[in-house]
Amino acid sequence: MSSPTRPVQTHAGVRAVLADPDFTVPPVPPSDQPGGIAWLRASVARFSSGPDHTRRRALASTALSGVDVAALRPAAGARTRAVLAAAGGQPVELITAVARVVPVATLADALGLPDVSAADVSTVAGAYHPHVLPGPAADAAVARLVRACGGTADEVAAARIGLLVQACDATAGLVGNAVLAMLRGELADPVDAILTETLRHDPPVRLTRRVAGARARTGGGIAAGTLVELDIAAANRDGAVFADPDRFDPSRSHTEHLTFGFGARACPGRDHATAIAGGIVEAVRGCRLVAESAAPDPSANPLVPAQVWVSAA
């Protein structure tokens, strides 16, 4: 018999669940075959709880602590401008050529991992979440990333791969949504303000899940064992917190979105992701929006625009 499911959509409700350590992530099966998707899921902080999560998160945080965050923005901007320049004035499909490549390449270089393939990271990102049935291509990509991240299928390599995967689709979604907002509206607001409002108004990560434990402390009477679906997108547009929540407004004063999580499991790469995205969006400012494809399935998570075509002015 499956566990009951409970949606949580208010800002206060989502924040309360994220702050309560008795709400844990749904467990993934253990893996005794190192080097594939199942092993990666079972070895990263993202899908673990308790002491395993604490230990694995520390490995990821340690890796990030060696990165000069201030250098990420100009590095990402330079890579983006190089792609635009190489096009010689012809339109560039931003998601494929930049948004799924530049964040991974920039972070991999900063982590001292020059042999990482952005294509492999993208393949793994597409099979990373437990509801996706992985194929042999994803397992092979994990094996290659293990070799590029130290050569041993251990928690250190898993932490590095996890960081790169988190930098892939989620950052691509942020970049794509921010560029569309900026170029559609011909916005002159500071890039950082556009990114912050994009994270609130059009978050790439729209949903996350927790399982209620016996001591869960929310006021909603959630029974132990309940699968709780936290609707980040709805919480970020909660009218009790944000005035005129459906309006994209980079000048709004209250920006306490929940896209990077909250509490002990908040994303440790928040500053890194926004620095990389900022460099890309700055480089695209002044470009012309040529075309965009139909939006992807709104249930996708992370939500990444399918195609965004731009050309240098």
Q: What CATH number does residue 201 fall under? A: 1.10.630.10
* pLDDT, tens only, 50-66: 999 999 999 999 999 99
Report d(CA 128, CA 202) in Å as an integer: 22
**What is the b/e burial string over 169-205, where b = at least 16 CB atoms within 10 angstroms of the residue's CB?**
bbbbbbbbbbbbbbbeeebeeebeebbbbbbbbbbbb
Instruction: With 0.85 as the threshold, say if the pTM is over it.
Output: yes
Mean pLDDT of the chain: 94
The predicted pLDDT at position 215 comes to 79
126-168 per-position pLDDT tens digit: 999 998 888 999 999 999 999 999 999 999 999 999 999 999 9
Tens digit of pLDDT for each residue in 65-107? 999 999 999 999 999 999 999 999 999 999 999 999 999 999 9
User: Which helix (H) or strand (E) covers residue 143, if one does?
Assistant: helix 136-148
What was the pLDDT predicted at 1?
43
Task: Specify the residue for token string 């991999």.
Answer: 108
Using CA atoms, how far apart are residues 210 and 212, in angstroms rounded to an integer? Answer: 6
Mean pLDDT of 27-47: 94
Decide if 44 is inside a domain: yes
User: Is 245 within the bounds of a domain?
Assistant: no
**Quick check: is 101 in a domain?**
yes
Total structural domains within the chain: 1
Whole-number percent of the chain with pLDDT over 70: 96
Show the beta-strand stretches assigned E in the chain. Answer: 5-8, 23-24, 92-93, 207-212, 227-231, 288-292, 308-311
Give me the pLDDT at residue 133, please: 87
Which of 305, 313, 179, 230 has the alpha carbon at shortest distance from 11?
230
Residue 256 lies in a domain: no
Range scoring the smallest mean pLDDT among 1-15, 33-47, 224-238, 294-308: 294-308
Residue 90 lies in a domain: yes
| Residue 252 maps to a domain | no
Alpha carbons 13 and 20: distance in angstroms, whole number: 11
pLDDT confidence bin for 3, thresholds 50/70/90: low
Q: What is the rounded CA–CA span in Å between residue 155 and residue 150?
A: 11
**Which residue range forms the structural domain that includes residue 59?**
5-239+261-311
Segment of 71-75, 211-215, 305-309 carrying the highest mean pLDDT = 71-75
pLDDT tens digits, 221-270: 788 899 999 999 999 999 999 999 999 999 998 889 999 999 999 999 99
Q: What is the separation of C-alpha 181 from the centre of its chain, rounded to a whole number of angstroms? A: 18
Nearest to 170 by CA among 37, 303, 298: 303
Give the position of tokens 């390599």.
157
Q: For residue 58, with 0-12 CB atoms within 10 Å meaning exposed, 13-18 middle and 19 or more buried, which class applies? A: middle
What span, in angstroms and rounded, lies between the C-alpha atoms of 298 and 208? Answer: 15
Q: What is the mean pLDDT of residues 5-16?
A: 95
Q: Is residue 254 part of a domain?
A: no
Residue 166, domain member (yes or no)? yes
Q: Count other Cβ atoms within 10 Å, centred on residue 135.
A: 12
Determine the Cα–Cα distance for residues 198 and 183; give it in Å rounded to an integer.
Answer: 13
212 forms beta bridges with 23
Tokens at 7, concatenated: 């949606």
Residue 100 to residue 43: CA distance in whole angstroms: 24
